[in-house]
């Protein structure tokens, strides 16, 4: 579970108030261009590390054999990754993430930090500093140290008796995080030290690997899919086949039909998935009790987006962390409570986290107190972005009927409260 993301000099965030705390369900509000999407970029950077990419690939793009794009880079690329704030010599940013490890890995808290030097056009982005600490250990699992040669850095691993650097037989490239390079080491020298470090690196990586950043496209949601494809694509591909897998369980199917019945004016009685192509692809058909059938081809964008949320969260193989931009798109304000209920029910047991940006006051009105405290405001203070957790805005909890936070959001109250707190802190 990701508990905290801290960004220093990254995109529009400076060192002060560049930290967001995340709970089970964490909504992020703020005006346009306040920096909400930059939080997504920070989380995607961490996800790119978990996939073993180099720094250049994470910031840029990653292609695989056949020229297939496997990874889209960070928006703005190298040029806009660092908050230069008027100083062209600023070339470094730091991202730190704190996670709770799965119980199978001990359930402790892991803190990982990486500082990247994006350099200039003449050289590739490199790691300038990096460290991992697990639980209450008095020493980091590893630390970057001095540069030992062109493109290489020296790394220290934790030893119970000393902190000697790895020998020359284990060179580390400085264009890739040490975190993933340590896992590739052969434990022929000091096997106990290396094996222990690898164990802790793998445990942390498992806590950040299962992340999805869905950017749903109505056209992708409508396309037929091959039965058996149970992973929803980033654009919403395979929606029909994922829903078909969910509907193979009678109870899950009934719950899905009930959600759809409440969301729409349709009197939904069934969902079918007939073959619609020579290749055997299936497509969702919503069946009303009177027998009328509505295919995914003609269903509304809002209905399909809601079903995509359900497919992602209730599917047979959900991710542990989802990030949605403008999560309310296509959902009528009068049905916002259904979306919140779906998200809250899916995250309540602790196995799934959901974070999402929103401009909708209606969504905030239906958050319970824990989820309201986990929500965050992103705002501009001069030329930089800052983050305030709702739990850190005392006036919110003094306002009568604070459960109607949506009305406060719609009136601009949160931005005014942030401006007041900024002035008070000065």
Q: Residue 9: is its pLDDT beyond 90?
A: yes
pLDDT category at 182 given cuts 50, 70, 90 is very high
CB neighbourhood size of 391 (10 A): 17
Task: Answer yes or no: is pLDDT of 285 > 50.
Answer: yes
Work out the percent of the chain whose per-residue pLDDT is above 70: 94
Q: What CA–CA distance (Å, rounded) separates 164 from 178?
A: 16
pLDDT value at residue 165: 52
| Contacts for 163-168: CB closer than 8 Å, 24+ residues apart | 163/139
| Predicted pLDDT at 416 | 92
pLDDT in tens, 353-371: 999 999 999 899 999 989 9
Kindly indicate the confidence band of residue 41, based on its pLDDT and cuts at 50, 70 and 90: very high
Cβ neighbors of 201 (< 8 A, separation 6 or more) are 132, 141, 142, 179, 180, 182, 183
Over 90: is that where the pLDDT of 157 sits? Answer: no
Query: What is the rounded average pLDDT for all residues in the chain?
Result: 88
Mean pLDDT over 61-88 rounds to 81
Lowest pLDDT segment from 29-43, 143-157, 308-322, 366-380: 143-157
Q: What is the pLDDT of residues 237-281, one digit of tens each?
A: 999 999 999 999 999 999 999 988 888 888 899 999 999 988 889
Least confident of 55-59, 166-170, 377-381: 166-170
pLDDT value at residue 169: 41
Give the residue among 303, 339, 336, 333 at the shortest CA–CA distance from 221: 303
Q: Domains in the chain, ordered, with CATH?
A: 1-210+321-426 (3.40.50), 213-318 (no CATH)
pLDDT of res. 238: 95
pLDDT score for 323: 96
Q: Are 280 and 274 contacting, i.e. CB atoms less than 8 angstroms apart?
A: no
Q: Which residues pair with 114 in a beta bridge?
A: 95, 130
Decide: pTM greater than 0.75.
yes
DSSP string, 108-149: -EEEEEEEEE---TTS--EEEEEEEEETT-SS-SEEEEEEEE
pLDDT of residue 187: 78
Quick one: tokens of 334? Answer: 């009068």
What is the enclosing helix (H) or strand (E) of 408? helix 405-410
pLDDT at residue 316 above 90? no
């Amino acid at each position: 579970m990701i508990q905290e993301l801290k960004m220093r000099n990254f995109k529009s965030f400076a060192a002060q108030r560049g930290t967001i705390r995340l709970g089970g369900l964490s909504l992020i509000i703020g005006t346009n261009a306040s920096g909400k999407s930059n939080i997504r970029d920070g989380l995607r950077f961490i996800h790119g590390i978990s996939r073993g990419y180099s720094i250049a690939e994470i910031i840029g793009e990653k292609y695989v054999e056949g020229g297939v794009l496997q990874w889209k880079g960070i928006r703005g690329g190298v040029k806009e990754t660092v908050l230069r704030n008027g100083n062209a010599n600023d070339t470094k940013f730091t991202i730190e993430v704190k996670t709770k490890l799965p119980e199978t890995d001990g359930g402790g808290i892991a803190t990982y930090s990486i500082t990247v030097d994006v350099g200039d056009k003449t050289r590739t982005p490199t790691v300038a500093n990096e460290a991992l600490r697990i639980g209450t250990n008095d020493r980091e699992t590893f630390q970057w140290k001095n540069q030992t040669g062109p493109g290489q850095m020296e790394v220290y691993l934790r030893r119970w008796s000393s902190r000697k650097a790895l020998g020359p037989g284990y060179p580390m490239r400085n264009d890739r995080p040490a975190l993933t390079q340590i896992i590739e080491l052969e434990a022929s020298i000091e096997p106990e030290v290396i094996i222990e470090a690898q164990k802790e690196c793998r445990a942390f990586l498992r806590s950040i690997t299962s992340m999805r950043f869905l950017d749903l496209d109505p056209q992708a949601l409508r396309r037929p899919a091959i039965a058996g494809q149970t992973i929803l694509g980033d654009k919403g591909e395979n929606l029909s086949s994922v829903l078909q897998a969910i509907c193979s369980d009678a109870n899950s199917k009934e719950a899905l039909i009930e959600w759809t019945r409440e969301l729409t004016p349709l009197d939904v009685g069934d969902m079918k998935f007939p073959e619609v192509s020579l290749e055997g692809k299936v497509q969702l058909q919503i069946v009303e009790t009177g027998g009328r059938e509505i295919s995914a081809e003609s269903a509304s964008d809002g209905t399909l987006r809601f079903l995509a949320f359900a497919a992602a969260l209730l599917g047979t193989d959900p991710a542990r962390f989802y990030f949605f931009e403008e999560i309310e798109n296509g959902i009528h304000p009068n049905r916002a409570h259904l979306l919140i209920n779906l998200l809250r029910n899916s995250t309540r047991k602790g196995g799934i986290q959901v974070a999402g940006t929103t401009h909708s006051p209606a969504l905030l009105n239906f958050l319970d107190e824990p989820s309201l405290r986990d929500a965050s405001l992103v705002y501009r203070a001069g030329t930089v972005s800052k983050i305030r957790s709702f739990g850190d805005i005392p006036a919110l909890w003094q306002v009568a009927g604070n459960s109607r936070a949506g009305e406060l959001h719609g009136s601009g109250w949160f931005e005014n409260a942030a401006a007041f707190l900024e002035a008070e802190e000065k």
